[in-house]
Chains A and B, each alone.
Chain A
Amino acid sequence: MRTSTASNEAVTPSSLSQRLLVAVGASLLGLCLVYFAGFSHIEAVHNAAHDTRHSAAFPCH
């Protein structure tokens, strides 16, 4: 009788280096998003996210 091993995959903890890689990647992506909306010098982006920037106390203008 076979027992299912498919569910073991999800429980297996990933190695530290794997987790580090994913964490750094996700953080960089997050920082890029924040930079784009909050710090980008593109005029149209600035105008669109203007109130977001002021409210979040990002340097604006």
Chain B
Amino acid sequence: MIKRIASTAGFTGLLAALLLTLLQSFWVAPLILQAETYESAAPAVEAPHEHAAGTAEHHHDSEAWSPEDGWQRVLSTTGGNLVVAVGFALILAALYTLRAPKTVISGALWGLGGFAVFCLAPTLGLPPELPGTAAADLAQRQAWWVGTAAATAVGLALIVFAHNWLLKIVGAVLLVVPHVIGAPQPEVHQMLAPEALEAEFKVASLLTNAAFWLALGLISAWLYRRSSQA
């Protein structure tokens, strides 16, 4: 069983990460690079941000390693994609051991579920950002993001799998709650890149992620089912 999960997640992650990297290189990455030209043109002022009491002090170390633009950057982004993709594929394969996909097509539904949990719901409150966009404290945004993804996952699971209509209603409430609470917002909304660029980036990011998750769901269901027949 463990071997089946590992091989499904490994190969799915690899294939989906390659697709993601391909889509990114042609569409998303050029927009990021373009936004960075505005960022580096602006005076480099470290925006002061407050830390809640008790959180560890951190400083932004400009000396830390960072990939050179070009093949280094593409390679390290591919690595990042691979880690994220295998991680998501592991979650899907784990879910399949509890509820095996009956057809490859049902994998697409699992993928869309993942897209809703890890992309659509969080971006409703925290839209994809280009470099150089003002935003609230990182830790707070990460906390809201994680909370929203968790609530959406539990909410969707209840709506789809619960037999009791009361539980389904609880699920629907869970979907809405994070957005009623609201995502942490910056005090001033500002960005260095023009609005048109940001708008295109939002579309590019959303569609790229949708394709990535669809591929993740379809490939994982196909491989998982295949390994059972073998």
Contact = CB atoms under 8 A, between A and B. Distances in A.
Whether A and B are associated in the same complex: the answer reads yes
Interface of A: 14, 18-20, 22-27, 29-34, 36-39, 41, 43-44, 47-61
Interface of B: 1-2, 5, 9, 20, 24, 28-29, 32, 58, 60-61, 64-67, 73, 76-77, 79-81, 83-84, 86-91, 93-95, 97-98, 118-119, 122-123, 126-131, 135, 138, 141-142, 145-146, 205-206, 208-209
Contacts of B88: 30, 34
B32 A54 contact: yes
Nearest to A11: B228
B98 A20 contact: yes
A61 B24 CA distance: 20
- The winner among B66, B80, B122, B127 for most chain A CB atoms within 10 A is B80
Given A30-B88, A33-B90, A48 B95 contact: no
A31 B87 contact: yes
Given A26-B5, A51-B77, 10 more contacts: A30-B9, A34-B83, A43-B64, A47-B76, A48-B65, A49-B79, A56-B119, A57-B128, A58-B145, A61-B138
